[in-house]
Structure 1
Amino acid sequence: MKFTQEQDILQRYKSQINIDQIFSHPESLPFQLRIYERNEVILQEGDTLDGLYFQVDGRTKVTSSVETGKALLLRFCHPLAVFGDIELMQKVVVQSQVEAVTQASFLFINKHTIETELMRDYKFLTELSRHLAYKLQTCTTASRINLLASVEERLASYLLTIRLQHDFGKEIQTPHIHEVASLIGTTPRHLNRVIQKLSDVNMLRKDKKKIVVIDWERLDELSNGLRYE
Structure 2
Amino acid sequence: MRLTTEGNLLYTYIEKYNLKDIFDQEVIQYMALYTLDKGECICQSGDMFQSMFFLVKGKLKIYTVQENGKALLLRFNKPLSIVGDMEYLTGYQARCNVEAVNKCMLIEIKYEHLNKFSYNDPKFLRFLIKQICHKLYTISNATALNLLYPVENKFASYLLSTMVNEQEDVHREELKSSKLTEVATLLGTSYRHLNRVIRQLEKEGIISRNKGSIIIHDINKIEELSCGSLYE
Report if TM-score (shorter chain) is over 0.5.
Answer: yes
**Could you list the runs of 5+ residues in structure 1 that have no partner in the other structure?**
none
Aligned to 1:45: 45
Q: Is the CA contact (8 Å cut-off) linking 1:87 and 1:95 kept in structure 2?
A: no
Aligned to 2:111: 111
Aligned to 2:189: 186
- Change in Cα spacing, 1:212 to 1:187, as seen in structure 2 (3 Å) is farther
Aligned to 2:10: 10
Mapped to 1, the partners of 2:126 and 2:42 lie a distance apart of 25
- Change in Cα spacing, 1:160 to 1:111, as seen in structure 2 (3 Å) is closer
Matched ranges for 1:168-207 at <5 A:
175=173, 178=180, 181-182=184-185, 184-197=187-200, 202=204, 204=206, 206=208
Identity of aligned residues (%): 34
Matched ranges for 1:85-96 at <5 A:
85-96=85-96
* SS of aligned partner of 2:118: helix
Alpha-carbon shift at residue 84 of structure 1 (Å): 0.5
**Could you list the runs of 5+ residues in structure 2 that have no partner in the other structure?**
none
User: Aligned match of 2:215 in 183, 194, 210?
Assistant: 210
Q: What is the RMSD of the two structures over their aligned residues, measured on CA atoms?
A: 3.9
Q: Could you report, residue by residue, the CA deviation over 1:69-106 in whole angstroms, capped at 9, with x for unpaired residues?
A: 34333334332221001212232011222233444322
> What letter corresponds to residue 96 of structure 1 in structure 2?
C
Mapped to 2, the partners of 1:80 and 1:96 lie a distance apart of 19
Alpha-carbon shift at residue 111 of structure 1 (Å): 1.0
Mapped to 2, the partners of 1:62 and 1:9 lie a distance apart of 26
Alpha-carbon shift at residue 31 of structure 1 (Å): 1.2
Aligned to 2:26: 28
Counting helix residues as a fraction of each chain, which structure ranks higher? 1
> What letter corresponds to residue 215 of structure 2 in structure 1?
K
> What letter corresponds to residue 97 of structure 1 in structure 2?
N
* SS of aligned partner of 2:107: strand
Aligned to 2:60: 60
Q: Is the CA contact (8 Å cut-off) linking 2:72 and 2:187 kept in structure 1?
A: no
Q: Is the CA contact (8 Å cut-off) linking 1:5 and 1:33 kept in structure 2?
A: yes
Aligned to 1:98: 98
Alpha-carbon shift at residue 176 of structure 1 (Å): 6.1
* SS of aligned partner of 1:124: helix
Alpha-carbon shift at residue 110 of structure 1 (Å): 1.0
Q: Is the CA contact (8 Å cut-off) linking 1:53 and 1:82 kept in structure 2?
A: yes
- Change in Cα spacing, 1:193 to 1:20, as seen in structure 2 (3 Å) is same
Matched ranges for 1:211-226 at <5 A:
212=217
> What letter corresponds to residue 35 of structure 1 in structure 2?
T
Q: Is the CA contact (8 Å cut-off) linking 1:145 and 1:226 kept in structure 2?
A: no
Mapped to 1, the partners of 2:67 and 2:10 lie a distance apart of 39
Mapped to 2, the partners of 1:145 and 1:104 lie a distance apart of 26
Alpha-carbon shift at residue 107 of structure 1 (Å): 1.2
Mapped to 1, the partners of 2:207 and 2:11 lie a distance apart of 47
